[in-house]
Amino acid sequence: MLTRRHFLGCAAAAAAGELPLVDYHAHLDEIVTLDKALEISRARGVKFGIVEHGGKTVHRYRGLLSSDDDLKRYLAKLDGKPVYKGIQAEGLDWMECFSKPMIARLDYVLTDALTFPEKDGRLVRLWTSEAKVDDAQDFMDRYVRFHVQIVATEPIDILANPTFLPAPIERDYETLWTRERMRAIIDAARKHSVAIEINSRYRLPRLAFLKMARQAGAKFSFGSNIHGTDVGRLDYCVEMAKELGLRPDDLFTPAPPGRTPIERRG
């Protein structure tokens, strides 16, 4: 478990390199209310980007945003607070829930490939026990194509939880994530100006992917995706940033008004 001394050491290392500590993948819940999140943010010296799930009601998340009215209430709740305002987009059709002007009011949109469309049309949550993999190579080919589809077609800022693998094949990470598969995702992210999240919950992506992305000129964001009071713990993010020699201009920052992905890409 990350100790306070260790975390403060990581924070000091980030400060020494003048890297801003921002957790763009922070969720509120029954334990971490907005007031609690602000308290944790101040204590850890980490600014939070608060994200709520957004998309059609089929996704069944607590607090799911599914309309402009939902999004207005969410933005009003965060208005004036020292946080970034984002959503975690769910499904390829999430844009149908909101108008473009409302999406443009967000500081950023992140999404991932973890709600995965199977061949029979089912949406499978890859982080749960419902994820079954009969043919690892076939799964990986479809999974990589899905990553590329998301990055190429959705007006997003951040690709979250990159290179995550479901439990049945997690042990084969090094062999399944070939250079060609990594390159396909990195090239798509670079082409469409989508930042790659360094995720401290899953400790992903691993260093080989991150080095390749760094060489390609990709941008990075930090994200804990940790629910509960450990939100904002960015030890893996800082460790990888040090390994990669990241500078402030290598990190994602929200686009100014008029330049958000929904305004640039539609």
CATH of the domain at 230: 3.20.20.140
Amino acid 227: pLDDT: 87
**Distance of alpha carbon 75 from alpha carbon 130, whole angstroms:** 33
Whole-Å CA distances, 68 to 97, 117, 203: 7, 26, 34
Amino acid 17: pLDDT: 56
- Cα angle 178, 181, 185 (rounded to 5 degrees) comes to 140
Enter the tokens of residue 213: 């992305």
CB distance 234 to 21 below 8 Å: yes
CA 204 to centroid of chain Cα atoms = 11
**Per-residue confidence of the chain (266 residues) as pLDDT tens digits?**
334 444 444 454 454 358 999 999 999 999 999 999 999 999 999 999 999 999 998 887 888 999 999 999 999 999 999 999 999 999 999 999 999 999 999 999 999 999 999 999 899 999 999 999 999 999 999 999 999 999 999 999 999 999 999 999 999 999 999 999 999 999 999 999 999 999 999 999 999 999 999 999 999 999 999 989 999 999 999 999 999 999 999 999 999 999 999 999 86
- Has this prediction a pTM greater than 0.75? yes
Amino acid 13: pLDDT: 44
Three-state secondary structure along 225-251? CCCCCCCCCCHHHHHHHHHHCCCHHHE
**Distance of alpha carbon 145 from alpha carbon 71, whole angstroms:** 30
CB distance 58 to 98 below 8 Å: no
CB distance 210 to 4 below 8 Å: no
Residue environment code for 28-65, b if the CB has 16+ CB neighbours within 10 A, otherwise e: beeebeeeebbebbeebebbbbbbbbbbeeebeeeebb
Phi, psi of 70 (to 5 degrees): -60, -45
Domain extent at residue 106: 4-265
**Distance of alpha carbon 218 from alpha carbon 216, whole angstroms:** 6
Looking at the DSSP assignment, which residues form a beta bridge with residue 54?
Answer: 65, 89
User: Residues 113-150: pLDDT tens digits?
Assistant: 999 999 998 999 999 999 999 999 999 999 999 999 99
Amino acid 96: pLDDT: 96
Q: Where are the beta strands (DSSP E) in the chain?
A: 22-26, 47-54, 84-89, 108-111, 115-117, 123-125, 158-159, 195-199, 220-223
Q: How many domains does the chain have?
A: 1
Amino acid 60: pLDDT: 78
